[in-house]
Amino acid sequence: MSMRWRTAFSRKAGSQRRSGATKAGGLLAVLSLSIAVAGCGLLPNEPVEEDLSSIQLPQISKKPEYEVTTKTLEKKASDSARLYSTQEKSIYWTQKSLNGKFIKKLYIENGGTVKAGQVIAELDVEDMKKSLRNQRLSMRKTELSMKDTLRKKDEMNPIEFEEAQIAFEEQKQAIADLEQDIADAVLTAPFSGQVVSLTAKEGDSIEAYKPLGVIVDPSRLVVGTNLKDSLDKITIGMEVQVDFNGGVVKTGKVKSLPQPSSNNNGNGNGNGNGNGNGQNTQNLDQLLLIEVKDMPKTAARGQSVSVSVVLSRKENAIVIPLSALHTIGARTYVQVVEADGSKREVDIEVGQQTSTDAEVLQGLTPGMKVVGQ
């Protein structure tokens, strides 16, 4: 039988083999761990949970709520208007025999004041005065001839005498007419007042009935307007708010209503086409006139204003905003807010309405709350 002899060399070799195996096992373990770690890095990242606590959810808009209140409810009719004078007159010459004559002297100016009977203009009628002198001289001869004719009346044919007498009267009347024309060449103020819209100047030729300007009495101002769409609702004595467009509001009353006219030429609209500053006077009969007792000191004829006629007024009327009304067919209702915040529908009866409010005749009481739209 064979025997294995262990020598020092064999023990050393065995020890070296075991040490190498141990090192190889350690190296394999490190390599496996490295591969595992690298493999984890290749896997997809897990999603991070989002924090929703900072996001504000949208709020559903809340409809407005209004309290049922009481107020003085007014229904008005408004329009533009203008200031006129109840006494105003266009100034002009009326004699056609003066047509073509020239204005010799003008004694007035725009905005100036005049007294009743004051001379305001004069025409150049020197040619007419010369003609008058000649006719008067001729008349003296005619008078002498007429005296002789009267002495011979009994000897003359009645027809011839009548013709002579007619000729004498015609010459006498011609002189009287010429005297009147010369007198009428001087134009005087019909009443005391103020001159407005004067367009004539010295040297201009005139035409009968062609206005030179207007004289008005500024102390007798009145507000004139149309309000055609509301005339059937307006009566004399109704209250009117007059806004003078400078923060000054005065209270007046309807003085008169427009008179029916079959010939409305359009001169009379109360907002300016009536020549409030023009040469022709306004026909006030075609306007709704408003009397204001305490006119502002700055008020002047031709000034534009705004008027509101109070058609109706009710004190302590129960009102809600128009936006709170709901209508379905013949039904009118509102949504009422209860004390606990709940809502219910309530049928109501509506009275008059303005541009912003509606009067509630039945169904609501002051203090309740309604929902708007």
Domain ranges of the chain: 65-74+314-371, 77-87+221-311, 96-196
**What is the per-residue pLDDT across 278-319, written as a single tens digit (0 to 9) for each?**
455 678 899 999 999 999 988 988 899 999 999 988 899 999
| Longest CA–CA separation in the chain, Å | 224
Alpha helices in the chain (DSSP H): 8-42, 126-151, 158-184
Strand partners, 264: none
**Residues 308 and 299 sit within 8 Å (Cβ to Cβ):** no
Same fold flag, 65-74+314-371 and 77-87+221-311: no
CATH 2.40.420.20 fits 65-74+314-371, yes or no: yes
Residue with tokens 């004051």: 118
User: pLDDT category, 5, cuts 50, 70, 90?
Assistant: very low
pLDDT score of 57: 60
User: pLDDT category, 103, cuts 50, 70, 90?
Assistant: very high
CA 216 to CA 41: how far, in whole Å? 106
pTM: 0.60
The b/e string for 171-190 (b: 16+ C-beta within 10 A; e otherwise) is: beeebeebeebbeebebebe
Q: Give the CATH architecture of domain 77-87+221-311.
A: Beta Barrel (2.40)
In this predicted structure, the answer to whether residue 36 has a pLDDT above a threshold of 60 is no
What percent of the chain is modeled with pLDDT above 90?
Answer: 57
CA 206 to CA 128: how far, in whole Å? 16
Q: How many CA atoms lie within 13 A of 348 on its CB side?
A: 26
pLDDT score of 277: 45
**Residues 221 and 295 sit within 8 Å (Cβ to Cβ):** yes
In this predicted structure, the answer to whether residue 161 has a pLDDT above a threshold of 90 is no
pLDDT score of 51: 61
- Please compute the mean of the pLDDT values over residues 194-204 and round it to a whole number: 92
